[in-house]
Chain A
Amino acid sequence: MESSLELTTSLTGTYPPLRTRIFKIIVIGDSGVGKTCLTYRFCAGKFPDKTEATIGVDFREKVIEIDGEKIKVQLWDTAGQERFRKSMVQHYYRNVHAVVFVYDVTNATSFRSLPAWIEECRQHSLGQEVPRILVGNKCDLRHGLQVGTEVAQKFADSHSMPLFETSAKNPDDNDHVEAIFMTVAHKLKSQKPLMLSQVPGDGGVLPLRKSEDEDEKSWSCGC
């Protein structure tokens, strides 16, 4: 594992930080919408062979490069069953830099649950400045479509989130899954001030502050 822990970079300096920055992203949504597949697809580049119920929280990571800077993207893949949320998952909301909400386009219930997931984020005191995106998964199952793009887009707009419809399974969509997480990473990288560098074991990262000239709605994807 790459380590540059011995460096003592000032986080508030004007120079780019020398340590690998870490973007911590939490992935939430109903059971069975494909959170594990999406995160696996991004980190391993392929659709997983067999996925099982996630119990508690799984962790995956991938090092990406943006503008020559190496960045570690950490994805926290959480259990969908409600009973795990209350006492178990809250620990993993700490210092989260971005949230990915996932629903299943072939399952209207998973879409109707989204307000509850948004509420959960609010209860974990994630501020508005923490970027959120909405992902409608399983687009390859065209016949079973239950959630249309229009209604999903409307919902996304009303919560100032960009919407992505994708399929973690479709081999042609590899670039797309990658692009979704890269969009989040770009968004996080562009945020100022650069408070994303985490001291490992750090409990004290200050919340991200949105730069003043940036409009929440302006970073939607072009899909």
Chain B
Amino acid sequence: MYLKKSKSVGASSPLNGIGKQDWDSRRKRKMGEIAQALSVTPVDVAALRRMAISEGGLLTDEIRCQVWPKLLNMNTDNLPEKPAADLRENHKDYHQVLLDVRRSLRRFPPGMPDDQREGLQEELIDIILHVLDRNPQLHYYQGYHDIVVTFLLVLGERLATVLVEKLSTHHLRDFMDPTMDNTKHILNYLMPIIERVNPEVHDFMQQAEVGTIFALSWLITWFGHVLSDFRHVVRLYDFFLACHPLMPIYFAAVIVLHREEEVLECECDMASVHHLLSQIPQDLPYETLISRAGDLFVQFPPSEMAREAAQQHSQQTAASTFKDFELASAQQKPDSVLRRRRRERAAAQAQAQAQTQAQDMAVARPRARRLVRLAVMGLTVALGAAALAVVNTALEWAPKLDLHLFP
């Protein structure tokens, strides 16, 4: 698998024990660098973005309290008072919010006393209704509470309120439209990204007609809904806060690509593939995947993917209509055909691999040729060129720019 080739991160990842001392010293150094970036006037936001993206992210919740606001270009000197609780009954989304927050027990640390958790749940309801009340153009969606709870747990109620409001009018804005049309449009980036990296996986998924809804909760909760370890969630939030709003969809693509073997072994039908992909593994190599997502973003930037994403819908419709017809008349078995092709290809690859050094396997695969460029600029320079480019795009992005190019 391509992603497992990343020696540079694997050897030093905070997620494995090897090189622990090495990581400890680099962690210390990183904390120093973050403190330095925060201490200058004006604050070195570009440096903070790099820190949030690079290995380990922002390291501690204490640092997050200081850095997350900077990543959203916010001044937190004068925080507003605690949001009033009197909004409740009157708000149109009150009942839905209440329903979703009351049953979001899993988002709170296990072992937290019930009364403490219940207090936080009340605060969570207040924050959500406060933001919605002040921004009538924003509409609550199920999953929004999964994002807000993360900010509440890291930042506390007052700071979370202002950050969530800013985030809701920027990164999350499209999800909060009256309809989910824009969200659907963003999901349409997923398959073209996958296709660029691994056309085989793309074709298989298209054949299965799995759609992209398996990634919906990933996207609109920034993976907060599906990851059970809070440390992984905040690590991803570091990354997403520092990046372009479309980065979560690149990360979704990277997860699918990381599981390419499983996907291709799966039965080629909607239910099986949907089921497989929606069950997200809890032990993902996050640092590697983050780095990979950054690489993909640089290589296939949203501007390049926008046209294909816009074409997704019409293509899907046309393709499936054709396939319906074909299948109904011939009772084809597309997946056995795909599997046979895959076996044939695997045999050919095995031959090729025998002549190649194990190190170069990914490159030797005919299907993986497009990855050569990636591998070269990849993880060894993750904190260099790629991260810098990601940071620069994040600084420049304008909300909905891409979406308006191809309405």
By a CB distance below 8 angstroms, the chain A residues around B332 are 199
Q: Is the Cβ of A5 less than 8 Å from the Cβ of B336?
A: yes
* Contact flags B140-183 to A (C-beta < 8 A → 1, else 0): 01110100000000000000000000000000000000111101
Docked Cα-Cα span, A6 to B208, in Å, equals 16
Instruction: Give which listed residue, B103, B178, B334, contacts A52 with CB less than 8 A.
Output: B103
Q: Is the Cβ of B181 less than 8 Å from the Cβ of A204?
A: no
Docked Cα-Cα span, A24 to B334, in Å, equals 20
Q: Is the Cβ of A59 less than 8 Å from the Cβ of B271?
A: yes
Docked Cα-Cα span, A201 to B320, in Å, equals 11
* Contact flags B94-105 to A (C-beta < 8 A → 1, else 0): 001001100111
Which of A32, A52, A81 neighbours the largest number of chain B CB atoms within 10 Å of its CB?
A: A52
Q: Which of B315-342 contact A (CB under 8 A)?
A: 320, 323-328, 331-336
Is A91's beta carbon under 8 Å from chain B? yes
Stretch at the interface among B217-225, B281-289, B378-386: B217-225
Q: Contacts A58-B278, A83-B180, A198-B269: A6 and B207 contacting too (C-beta < 8 A)?
A: no
Q: Is the Cβ of B211 less than 8 Å from the Cβ of A206?
A: no
By a CB distance below 8 angstroms, the chain B residues around A121 are none
Q: Is the Cβ of B324 less than 8 Å from the Cβ of A50?
A: no
Q: Is the Cβ of B274 less than 8 Å from the Cβ of A59?
A: yes
Q: Contacts A81-B142, A87-B181: A201 and B100 contacting too (C-beta < 8 A)?
A: no
Q: Is the Cβ of B209 less than 8 Å from the Cβ of A201?
A: yes
Docked Cα-Cα span, A88 to B100, in Å, equals 19
By a CB distance below 8 angstroms, the chain A residues around B225 are 52, 55
Is A68's beta carbon under 8 Å from chain B? no
Q: Is the Cβ of A204 less than 8 Å from the Cβ of B142?
A: no
By a CB distance below 8 angstroms, the chain A residues around B100 are 31, 52-53
Count contacts on B: residues with CB < 8 A to the other chain.
51
Q: Name the interface size band of chain A.
A: 35 or more
Is A148's beta carbon under 8 Å from chain B? no
Q: Is the Cβ of B331 less than 8 Å from the Cβ of A11?
A: yes
CB-CB nearest in chain A for B274: A59
By a CB distance below 8 angstroms, the chain A residues around B180 are 83-84, 86-88
Q: Is the Cβ of B221 less than 8 Å from the Cβ of A201?
A: no
Docked Cα-Cα span, A51 to B103, in Å, equals 7
By a CB distance below 8 angstroms, the chain A residues around B178 are 83
Q: Which of B196-223 contact A (CB under 8 A)?
A: 207-209, 211, 213-214, 216-217, 220-221
By a CB distance below 8 angstroms, the chain B residues around A89 are 213
State the Cβ distance, B244 to closest chain A Cβ, in Å.
23
Is B267's beta carbon under 8 Å from chain A? yes
By a CB distance below 8 angstroms, the chain A residues around B271 are 22, 24, 59, 61, 74
| Majority secondary structure, A binding face | loop
Which of A3, A50, A202 neighbours the largest number of chain B CB atoms within 10 Å of its CB?
A: A202
Instruction: Give which listed residue, B106, B208, B213, B331, contacts A201 with CB less than 8 A.
Output: B208
By a CB distance below 8 angstroms, the chain B residues around A56 are 213-214, 216-217
Is B272's beta carbon under 8 Å from chain A? yes
By a CB distance below 8 angstroms, the chain B residues around A50 are 103, 105-106
Is A222's beta carbon under 8 Å from chain B? no
Docked Cα-Cα span, A15 to B238, in Å, equals 59
Q: Is the Cβ of A31 less than 8 Å from the Cβ of B323?
A: no
Docked Cα-Cα span, A84 to B178, in Å, equals 11
Is A57's beta carbon under 8 Å from chain B? yes
Q: Which of B275-332 contact A (CB under 8 A)?
A: 275, 278, 320, 323-328, 331-332
| Majority secondary structure, B binding face | helix
State the Cβ distance, A84 to closest chain B Cβ, in Å.
6
Q: Is the Cβ of A203 less than 8 Å from the Cβ of B213?
A: no
Q: Which of A35-88 contact B (CB under 8 A)?
A: 50-59, 61, 74, 79-81, 83-84, 86-88
CB-CB nearest in chain B for A109: B95
Docked Cα-Cα span, A8 to B267, in Å, equals 16
Which of A8, A56, A57, A79 neighbours the largest number of chain B CB atoms within 10 Å of its CB?
A: A56
Q: Is the Cβ of A84 less than 8 Å from the Cβ of B323?
A: no
By a CB distance below 8 angstroms, the chain A residues around B143 are 53, 55
CB-CB nearest in chain A for B145: A53
Is A1's beta carbon under 8 Å from chain B? yes
Q: Is the Cβ of B335 less than 8 Å from the Cβ of A200?
A: yes
Is B125's beta carbon under 8 Å from chain A? no
* Contact flags A168-189 to B (C-beta < 8 A → 1, else 0): 0000000000000000000000
Q: Contacts A50-B106, A83-B141: A91 and B324 contacting too (C-beta < 8 A)?
A: no
Is B270's beta carbon under 8 Å from chain A? yes
Q: Contacts A31-B99, A58-B278: A203 and B142 contacting too (C-beta < 8 A)?
A: no
Q: Is the Cβ of A55 less than 8 Å from the Cβ of B142?
A: yes
By a CB distance below 8 angstroms, the chain B residues around A5 are 267, 333, 335-336
Q: Contacts A55-B217, A91-B211, A204-B325: A199 and B103 contacting too (C-beta < 8 A)?
A: no
Q: Contacts A61-B271, A83-B179, A87-B184: A55 and B336 contacting too (C-beta < 8 A)?
A: no
Q: Is the Cβ of A1 less than 8 Å from the Cβ of B272?
A: yes
* Extra 16 A-B pairs, beta carbons < 8 Å, given A22-B271, A61-B275: A6-B336, A31-B96, A31-B99, A32-B99, A52-B106, A56-B214, A58-B278, A74-B271, A81-B142, A83-B139, A83-B141, A83-B180, A88-B180, A88-B216, A204-B324, A204-B325
Which 8 pairs show the lowest CB-CB distances between chains A and B? A200-B269, A204-B327, A204-B328, A55-B217, A56-B216, A53-B142, A203-B324, A201-B269
Interface residues of A (CB under 8 A from B): 1, 3, 5-6, 8, 11, 22, 24, 31-32, 50-59, 61, 74, 79-81, 83-84, 86-89, 91-92, 198-204, 206
